Amino acid sequence: MPRLLRPVVLVPVVTVGALIAGTLALVPDASPLVLQGIHTSALNSITLQTTSLRVDTEGNPTTVTIDSTTIAEGSRGVLTVPLKTLADGTHLIVVTVDRGFLRGAATTERTILVDATPPALTLQPVTGPVRITRPVALRGAAEAGAIVTSVGGEVTAEGSGFVIHYPSPPAGGAVVVAIDPVGNRAQQVVRFRTRYPDNIRAVHLTGRAWAYDKLRNPVLELGRQGRINAVQLDIKDEDGIVNYPTKVPLARTIGAQARFFDAKQATAALHRRGLRVIGRIVAFNDPKLSNWAMAHGKKDWVIQNPDGSKYLYGYNKTGFTNFASPQVRSYNEDLAVEAIKLGFDDVVYDYVRRPDGPIKKMRFPGLKGEPEDAIVSFLAETQAKIRPLGGSLGAAAFAQASTRPKPTAQNIRKMARYLDVVIPMNYPSHWNPGEYGVADPYKGAYEIVRRSLVDWRKQVAGTDCVVVPWLQDEDFRGDYTPAKVREQIMGTRANGIPGWLMWSSRARYQGEAYSPDATPAL
């Protein structure tokens, strides 16, 4: 008896796809195209650039159309269709696979939304300068549905817009970000013009001088008489000594702390008298740290000779610490942060430079780029740390650096972007005969100060940094009488600069040289 044959039923198989790893891939099932990882089936400015439609033809004629336009055809391998050229709007993707006469054609459709336009974000301009120690606010408006954020600021709704409150003007500017529901991002940076009190009239005291009432009390009397409105007090001096009991761990480890004064008590005492307190940190000329580093196998913390030994020069017999070392930078920054928390209004870095001498004879372990750029980045790091605490940042610099940045790695134009005040050491004794056309800087004290400060004002132009020069009130390379000190003050004022800082290594100042009309600088 003949056997019965089972009939053959031909079932068409349709290959459709799912988004795999940022692409639309066709796999052997009947499910619709799925956009995985894309919220609300939308592509934003980022995902649009990385998403492609992938179709495995399996040897069958395949056609891909977008909005009725054929985008790709083929029957070999995988068809890949980038979607990054799609304009904003809704798009219909149709994939057709022709499996021949018996199996027929299968079609799969998918609608996607493209929205690659950043959300609208407008910020009201900030008019006028603001005080560094005061809270500030920024107002604006954003596209409906967008989320607005700003690091360091608190965002709240205000009418149809928003307001962002900052405890102090953000260093480097306020960065405001708006993100819409599909993930597009708009960003703006707003710089607050800060207002440093350029009417500073200050004298410098070491920690030892503050501890000695016969030196401290005359300075306080100058404040009472209105001849000064600020005192610059050493935090870390040229010996690498921190002048008060610091809690910075590295200072304690290397035995750098002293007890010349209690920082909180000293700053409070000066503030009660209406005086601004400027803290001076001798940054990289640090014998305590450099000697400890060499003795404890941390040679990279010190600027070296080509053979790896400590680089020494002239009057510096202990060596400079390395401004490219993260540990050295952090040490000085930690002292700056602590000082602001203890009541200092400002931190001024001194010796924020490279050592004297031919740079070819120096090695800076870990340095990337030029020394002057490392100095600038160090200042930027410090400002970003102390500005949220209400602290101002200054730097002392060689007076010649305004036109000759390379010998000290002090590029004033770049440094000024991250400083509130820059303090050129404009002592007549530090100028060579003939500079700026002044044959004898001592006899021509007025002219050397007046002429040199012109270049300093040019270097800080366009920034929020002000120039407040160091002047000389001590007998070094000349007899600096009250009249000679007043010459320097008048040379400063001839440039429209009302403020000054006086230097005396003996901490003895001639009050009769300063007029008794100083206004508050707090």
pLDDT per position in the chain (522 positions), as tens? 443 333 323 233 333 333 333 454 444 444 333 333 334 578 999 989 988 888 888 888 989 999 999 998 998 888 888 899 999 999 998 988 887 777 778 888 888 999 999 999 999 988 888 888 889 999 999 999 999 999 999 999 998 899 999 998 988 789 999 999 999 999 999 988 888 999 999 999 999 999 999 999 999 999 999 999 999 999 999 999 999 999 999 999 999 999 999 999 999 999 999 999 999 999 999 999 999 999 999 999 999 999 999 999 887 788 999 999 999 999 999 999 999 999 999 999 999 999 999 999 999 999 999 999 999 999 999 999 999 898 999 999 999 999 999 999 999 999 999 999 999 999 999 999 999 999 999 999 999 999 999 999 999 999 999 999 999 999 999 999 999 999 999 999 999 999 999 999 999 999 999 999 999 997
Fold of 16-114: Immunoglobulin-like (2.60.40)
Q: What share of the chain is helix, strand, coil (3-state, %, to 5)?
A: 25, 30, 45
At which residue do the structure tokens 């009249």 appear? Answer: 483
At position 278, the amino acid (one-letter code) is I
- Find the length of the chain: 522
CA distance 230 to 270: 8
Give the pLDDT of residue 172.
79
pLDDT at residue number 235: 98
Give the residue from 103, 83, 102, 109 showing the smallest Cα distance to 31.
Answer: 109
Residues contacting residue 9 through CB under 8 Å, at least 6 positions apart: none
Nearest Cα to Cα of residue 285 among 332, 247, 333, 244? 332
Looking at domain 201-513, what is its CATH homologous superfamily?
Glycosidases (3.20.20.80)
Per-residue tokens: 284: 């990289």
DSSP SS3 for 307: coil
Domain 121-190 sits in CATH at 2.60.40
Residue found by looking up tokens 């990289």 in the block: 284
Alpha carbons 417 and 384: distance in angstroms, whole number: 12
Give CATH 3.20.20.80 domain extents, the chain: 201-513
For CATH 2.60.40, list the domain ranges present in the chain: 16-114, 121-190
Q: CA-to-CA distance for 241 and 260, rounded, in angstroms? A: 10
Enter the pTM of the model: 0.79
SS3 188: strand
